[in-house]
Structure 1
């Protein structure tokens, strides 16, 4: 535990539909980098949309999130939540990943996260809850 442990949750849209090979390559690089930096988290992808949580030391996460925001593989990046945490919620994952199908029963009640409706405001706590559902 650390006094400056932090968690960031964000959503974004993929620049193009990702193939399984692109995911494998991307996740391999992310996991290697995260292990080196002591970062944990989870990435969900559905129909061209991402939702991700990253956890780590504040001095590591700030520049990492800046780098993530500059990554041209996605756009419309919205930081949903940035908060100090006492304990990691995704400590088992250097970067957990789920490619979600539309019929996944775990999506019940969370479908609006992947809608193109920009009018609907998304609760940051619900965004984290969605990621926690897929942690198990």
Structure 2
């Protein structure tokens, strides 16, 4: 399969009690790890802070942001040959998590919910489970 398009994104991996925070956009069926596209000229951490603020109405604390890993998979809802590359980060935040902007629902997901997420999230779920961080 020739890659026609690569979408660069960032994602905030936020775990509590062995569950990961997931978000679902309006009109979409699958959940995804919160985050989004990196704008031209924007750094990954700046994009992450912006996307999390827009989607979840909280402020990530940039000094606490730590790189977790990068994952690539077919992009959900895009033409065949489109891949998404997702750079994942952890980090502390302040505020109250609230579905905002295009986000219709947020949920705490377990490994058993993996099938309810976008393909690029599956490897993240698997790695977190293997490390004993996702139940």
Same fold (TM over 0.5): no
Q: State TM-score, norm by structure 2.
A: 0.29
Q: State TM-score, norm by structure 1.
A: 0.29
Instruction: Determine which structure has the larger strand proportion and give its number.
Output: 2
Q: Answer 1 or 2: higher relative contact order, Cα 8 Å, separation at least 6.
A: 1
Instruction: Determine which structure has the larger helix proportion and give its number.
Output: 1
